[in-house]
Amino acid sequence: MRPTVRLQLPYPPSVNSYWRANGHRRFISKEGVAFTKEVDLIVKQSGAKSFGENRVAISVMIHPRSKRKFDLDNTLKAILDALMKAGMYNDDSQIDYIEIARGEAVPKGAAVIHLYDFIGEEHGSTK
């Protein structure tokens, strides 16, 4: 079993600002592309090894930019996609367990994530 990978990422774009549309064509926004590039750099600098095709669990602590209300679940898509594109796992369908929590507000916001091997019994699953 590999050690837990901890990464501190920038505050992610919401799912509402991550995607853009032009007619019937959907694409990732400039904000989404910039976030993905920043995550890629953080992953590479961390030296974290890929989970490859292994089953993955992720814990996410979202530190908002302010005390303003927001939908916590709207922050996940950009994080999961960016980690996949940075090579932390091959496909986000490998994620079997997700937990997300709201942390204290910090200037500019942040997302602190922990990735680890998924072991079903640990999380009440019968896998």
Question: pTM of the prediction?
Answer: 0.88
Tokens (6 digits) for 69 = 């209300």
SS3 (DSSP) at 4? coil
In which band, very low, low, confident or very high, does the pLDDT at 122 lie, cut at 50, 70 and 90? low
Contact residues for 40 (Cβ-Cβ < 8 A; gap 6+): 82, 85, 86
Pairing of strands 110-117, 5-10: antiparallel
| Percent of all residues in the chain with a pLDDT value above 90, rounded to a whole number | 72
Residue 126's pLDDT band, with cuts at 50, 70 and 90, is very low
Q: Render pLDDT for 19-76 as a digit per residue (tens, 0 to 9).
A: 777 888 887 889 999 999 999 999 999 999 999 999 999 999 999 999 888 899 999 9
